[in-house]
Amino acid sequence: MQPPPPPPHPAALLPLPLPLPFCLPAAPRVRGRGGTAVAALGALWPPRLVAVESRPPPPSSPASASAPPPLPESAAAGLDAGIGGGGGGDGGGGADLGWLRVFPHVLTASMANFLFGYHIGVMNGPIEDIARELGFQGNPFLQGLVVSIFIVGAFFGSLGSSALVDNFGCKRTLQIDSIPLILGALLSAQADSLDEMLLGRFLVGIGIGINTVLVPLYVSEVAPTKYRGSLGTLCQIGTCLGIIAAFSLGIPSESDPHWWRTMLYAACVPGVLIVAGMQFAVESPRWLAKVGRIDDARNVVEHVWGPSEVEKSMEEIQSVVANDDSQASWSELLEEPHNRVALIGGSLFFLQQFAGINGVLYFSSLTFRDVGITSGILASLYVGITNFAGAIVASILMDKQGRKKLLTGSYLGMALAMFLIVYAISFPLDEGVSHGLSITGTLLYIFTFAIGAGPVTGIIIPELSGARTRSKVMGFSFTVHWICNFLVGLYFLELAKKLGVGAVYAGFGGVSLLSALFAYNFIVETKGRSLEEIEMSLSPAAPGKRE
């Protein structure tokens, strides 16, 4: 018995890198090793790190209590509250507009995530038309290869991202990275052979691999402390909107077999906008200080964080980059304290992928079809709305409830959703009840993933990383992500065929519970702390540590 053919739109709008699952003839052996990761982490992550949570915040600046004029002072007041420990909330007199100064810069960078989402969705609908026109119709291996080559490119892109960031900074790297994205889209759109399509998709994958590392890193270093978490969710929102755009633009492909070329040509537009937009965006003040451009870093802080934050923020930034004029090497990730953060980052992405997001996406279309929703685009719309709603909720809660609570609660919700689906498909229930529970479990899983497991994973890793090795830790973590993403996509259908969907989903639920336990025990809360405060708390030997 052959596994069912992939539905028209299985990716259905989930936030982090989620290419289509596909089936290749290989022995299905994917076993979670989360327990091993937790055991290893216990020896590497000592209780002293809880100092980030328990350490009393510094006294609030008097500026935060004054009545501010329009934008500059409100930004400064918000930052005084944020850097000092999160401040007292947004209530009181008037709207909190402190985020407006930095929002255009972060929004421009987040267009890279929109492009990432678009490239996830662009192949879902017209893959059969592409196969027919390029001569590999009816070959599931080659169809899967067109999709999976994207992941291979992303793997290499994430590995090489840190060298680009360390040498050129986030701003210039985002512009440079648009070159393979634009060239890859053009080559794919004009492809007359399978080889040209594969090369185009590989180039796009390289660009996406760099961007998935770069954008959360840029946001974490540019955003004011008070709004860093909420602004970080723009990565997820951008990815979601990109997939929605791809599905919407793909509607004519149902009647026009050549429409896929137009869709791929359209992928060039966001790349051009990123190149132009980043010309007006600020560079990371942390990177500027690290390469000795102190005056430029001071100007950026004044421009996007407010004049009242300049002295205090620059003192903190310079304290952690003092005597650090050399680039970090990959071997430093094996040394204290960087090995702990690298293990945390790799473990988070390992658990995220093996919690089953690709599996739920694959069977979501079949689940909706069982209740009469036969249109792949309509099913994708339901999933997309759910995902987008979760992303919006995450942006509201991220800097209020904190990363640790959202991550733990998200995985608990995902586990509940998995077990609900297992109950619906494994026990003798009325058909209507079974379908209703399956739909509820699917949407609940996607919503809870979008609240925590999706956005928090990308946000918290650069927050926990030190300035010296931040790009290396991010590159390593996303490399682990792409490997796990590939393995789940490769073996999921074989496992579902041999063990049954219920057994596989039960395994996903178990990994979700393990992930919640991991987050509760090993994730340190970073809400309301500047990156420098976090780094000095996690590494007592860091230069400039305040008493």
Which H/E stretch holds residue 124?
none
In this structure, the dihedral spanned by the alpha carbons of residues 325, 331, 332 and 335, taken in order and rounded to 10 degrees, is -150
Residue 257 lies in a domain: yes
CA distance 100 to 417: 37
- Quote the CA–CA distance of 258 and 130 in Å, as a whole number: 8
Residue 479 is predicted with a pLDDT of 95
pLDDT of residue 3: 44
Residues 229 and 344 in one domain: no
Of 340, 126, 363, nearest in space to 251 by CA: 126
List C-alpha distances in Å: 286 to 220, 278, 391, 427: 10, 17, 28, 56
**How confident is the model at residue 540, as a pLDDT?**
54
Is residue 297 domain-resident? no
Helices (H) and strands (E) in the chain, counts: 23, 0
* Contact status, residue 120 vs residue 18, Cβ threshold 8 Å: yes
Tokens of 175: 């512009």
CA distance 228 to 398: 9
Q: What share of the chain is helix, strand, coil (3-state, %, to 5)?
A: 75, 0, 25
> What's the CATH number where 411 sits?
1.20.1250.20
**DSSP code string of 393-417:** HHHHHHHHH-HHHHHHHHHHHHHHH
- Domain extent for 467: 333-537
Nearest to 516 by CA among 419, 422, 439: 419
Claim to verify: residue 349 and residue 461 sit in the same structural domain? yes
Look at residue 254 and tell me if it is in a domain. yes
Predicted local distance difference test score (pLDDT) of residue 31: 36
Kindly state the helix (H) or strand (E) to which residue 55 belongs, with its residue range.
none
Q: Determine the Cα–Cα distance for residues 340 and 317; give it in Å rounded to an integer.
A: 22
Lookup: tokens for 282: 């600020």
Dihedral (Cα; 192, 197, 203, 208), 10-degree rounding: 130
Radius of gyration of the chain (CA): 23
- Domain stop point among 219, 252, 282: 282
Residue 7 CA to residue 3 CA, distance in Å, equals 12
Query: What is the model's pLDDT at position 256?
Result: 87
Same domain for 482 and 385, yes or no, is yes
Q: Minimal CA–CA distance to 42: which of 466, 347, 330?
A: 347
* CA–CA separation, 499 and 502 (whole Å): 8
Give the pLDDT of the chain (547 residues) as one tens digit per residue. 444 444 444 333 333 434 333 333 333 333 333 343 333 334 434 333 333 333 444 444 433 333 333 333 333 333 333 333 333 334 444 567 778 899 999 999 999 999 998 998 888 778 888 989 999 888 888 888 888 898 999 999 999 999 999 999 999 999 999 999 999 999 999 999 999 999 999 999 999 999 999 999 999 999 999 999 999 999 999 998 998 888 888 888 878 889 999 999 999 999 999 999 999 999 999 999 988 899 999 999 999 998 888 889 898 888 887 656 567 788 888 888 888 999 999 999 999 999 988 778 777 776 777 666 666 667 777 888 898 899 999 999 999 999 999 999 999 999 999 999 999 988 888 888 888 898 999 999 999 999 999 999 999 999 999 888 899 999 999 999 999 988 888 888 788 888 988 899 999 999 999 999 999 999 999 999 999 888 888 775 544 443 3
Q: 368 with 258, same domain? A: no
473 and 347 co-located in one domain = yes
Q: Does residue 402 sit in the same domain as residue 528?
A: yes
Q: What is the pLDDT of residue 20?
A: 37
Looking at the fold, whether 380 and 464 belong to one and the same domain comes out as yes
Residue 430's contacts (CB-CB under 8 Å, 6 or more residues apart) are none
Q: Which residue has the tokens 């709008």?
A: 13
The answer to whether residue 20 is domain-embedded is no
Number of domains in the chain: 2
Say which residues have a Cβ less than 8 Å from residue 187's Cβ, sequence separation at least 6.
Answer: 196, 199, 200, 203
Q: Does residue 337 have a cis peptide bond before it, meaning omega lies within 30 degrees of 0?
A: yes
Q: Are residues 272 and 343 in the same domain?
A: no
Same domain, 342 and 266: no
Please tell me the distance from the alpha carbon of residue 169 to that of residue 174, in angstroms, as a whole number. Answer: 9
Query: Residue 302 has what pLDDT?
Result: 92
pTM of structure: 0.78
Residue 128 belongs to some domain of the structure: yes
Same domain, 272 and 421: no
Do both 398 and 513 map to the same domain?
yes
**Where does a domain end: 282, 312, 344?**
282
What are the DSSP calls for 45-111, one per residue?
S-GGGGHHHHSPPPPPPGGGGSPP-THHHHHHHHHHHHHTTSTT-S-SSS---TTTTTHHHHHHHHH
- CA 210/CA 469 separation, integer angstroms: 16
Distances (CA, A) of 522 to 4, 63, 305, 528: 39, 36, 31, 19
pLDDT value of residue 377 = 66
Could you tell me if residue 543 is inside a domain? no
Specify the 3-state DSSP secondary structure of 171: helix
Give the pLDDT score at 383.
83
- In total, the chain counts a number of residues equal to 547
Asked whether residue 547 is domain-assigned, the answer is: no
Q: Is 95 exposed, middle or buried (0-12, 13-18, 19+ CB in 10 A)?
A: exposed
Q: How far apart are the first and last CA of the chain?
A: 66
pLDDT for position 74: 34
Give the whole-angstrom CA distance, residue 189 versus residue 65.
56
Give me the half-sphere count of Cα atoms (radius 13 Å) on the Cβ side of residue 339: 13
Task: Answer with the one of 249, 282, 315 that is the final residue of a domain.
Answer: 282
Residue linked to tokens 């989903």? 505
Q: How far apart are CA 480 and CA 159, in angstroms?
A: 10
Instruction: Tell me: do 278 and 337 sit in the same domain.
Output: no
Q: Residue 25 burial (CB < 10 Å; 0-12/13-18/19+)?
A: exposed
Instruction: Note whether residue 262 is domain-resident.
Output: yes
